[in-house]
Amino acid sequence: MSVSLAAGILFAAGVFLCEYEEIRFTVLGMRKRWRLRRRLERAEVPMGSSDERRWHIHIRKLIAGSGADRYIGSPEIFAAVSLMAGLWAGFAFYWAGGKGTAVSGALMTGVLPYGWLRIRLNSRRVSNSREGALMIRELLSNYKIHAYNMKEALQITAESLADAPHAAHLLSNLARGFNRAFTRGAMEEVLDQFRYELNTAWGDALARCILFSEVYGLRVTEALEDISRSLDDSRRVIEYANRANHESEMMMRYLTPVSYVLTIFCACRYFGFTLAKFIRFQFTTAAGLQCFLVMVFIYGLSLLVNTLMTREKMDL
């Protein structure tokens, strides 16, 4: 028994000595990968981190989701632009109409950048969702072709969606984010922005499919097929609703500007006004300026509500 044990120990020692370099390099590689992962996890700042204020997170996601990151680099720049616009408008309206007009004009002008971002975000969400059926079909096809490799399927699909530029841009951002993500937390942060830019039930389902496929290696073919079938049904409903909303949208968009032009025409034709006199009364008196501001505000609000209510996203 002792002879067999001694022989086994000698054999194991011989194997260890022969393969020492390979074993050493393997252990060192495992240690380096473990240390790198720990450093990434410590350096990672999640989307909902307490180090960031809520408004900072909201504005950062809004800027990225609306595509305004090309013009506005950070939430701080956005806040500075909004503040400067409000102050400038306040001084201008104070000179023209007094304190009340200045406060109203400053507040309305200060929220314009935020309203502009919200409108852009809603428009992009609608465009992204309405290209969803084509995006899912292409992604499912490439997912099967490339041996169920989700990361590669995302990249190939983004490059092949020539007929769906919004979906292509969305998937390109997702693929680039995945290439920079080395931990599950980083991947979830990228997918959180993806869900935010879609804001649909099928977008949430697609994000879960991508996460399960990429992190756990699960095949999500059947789930993608179910999403694709549901989107095809939703697309037919949206196409029918668009025909019903087109006439009301055209009336709202053009009726108010035409009515204002007719007001100028009637004032000059029937009430003895000249164009210069109309402009002077409209923009250099407190009552005229306040009336104009209220009219512009209501018109802008109606366009915003119409955009949010009639341009429906394609959802399940």
Statement to judge: residues 167 and 272 lie in one domain: no
Statement to judge: residues 158 and 216 lie in one domain: yes
pLDDT class of 98 with cuts at 50, 70, 90: low
Higher-pLDDT residue of 118 and 181 is: 118
**Residue partners of 96: CB distance under 8 A and separation at least 6:** 283, 284, 286, 289
Statement to judge: residues 93 and 117 lie in one domain: yes
- Per-residue pLDDT tens digits for 99-117: 777 777 778 788 888 888 8
Give the mean pLDDT of the chain.
77
Statement to judge: residues 79 and 149 lie in one domain: yes
Statement to judge: residues 208 and 158 lie in one domain: yes
Establish if 153 belongs to a structural domain. Answer: yes
- Residue type at 64? A
pLDDT for position 135: 86
Statement to judge: residues 224 and 164 lie in one domain: yes
pLDDT class of 248 with cuts at 50, 70, 90: low
Tell me the residue range of the domain where 165 lies: 57-244
pTM of the entire structure?
Answer: 0.61
Domain boundary among 225, 244, 263: 244
The radius of gyration computed from the CA coordinates of the chain, to the nearest angstrom, equals 30
pLDDT class of 50 with cuts at 50, 70, 90: very low
Statement to judge: residues 96 and 183 lie in one domain: yes
Domain boundary among 244, 264, 287: 244
What mean pLDDT comes out for the span 17-31? 64
Statement to judge: residues 89 and 160 lie in one domain: yes
What mean pLDDT comes out for the span 121-127? 83
Establish if 214 belongs to a structural domain. Answer: yes
Is the predicted pLDDT of residue 259 greater than 60, yes or no? Answer: yes
Least confident of 93-102, 167-176, 201-210, 299-308: 93-102
pLDDT for position 286: 74
Establish if 78 belongs to a structural domain. Answer: yes
Statement to judge: residues 79 and 223 lie in one domain: yes
State the total domains in the chain: 2
Statement to judge: residues 185 and 275 lie in one domain: no
pLDDT for position 273: 85
pLDDT for position 224: 87
pLDDT for position 43: 44
Statement to judge: residues 212 and 79 lie in one domain: yes
Statement to judge: residues 197 and 69 lie in one domain: yes
Cα pseudo-dihedral 47, 212, 135, 62, rounded to 10: -10
Domain boundary among 244, 274, 295: 244
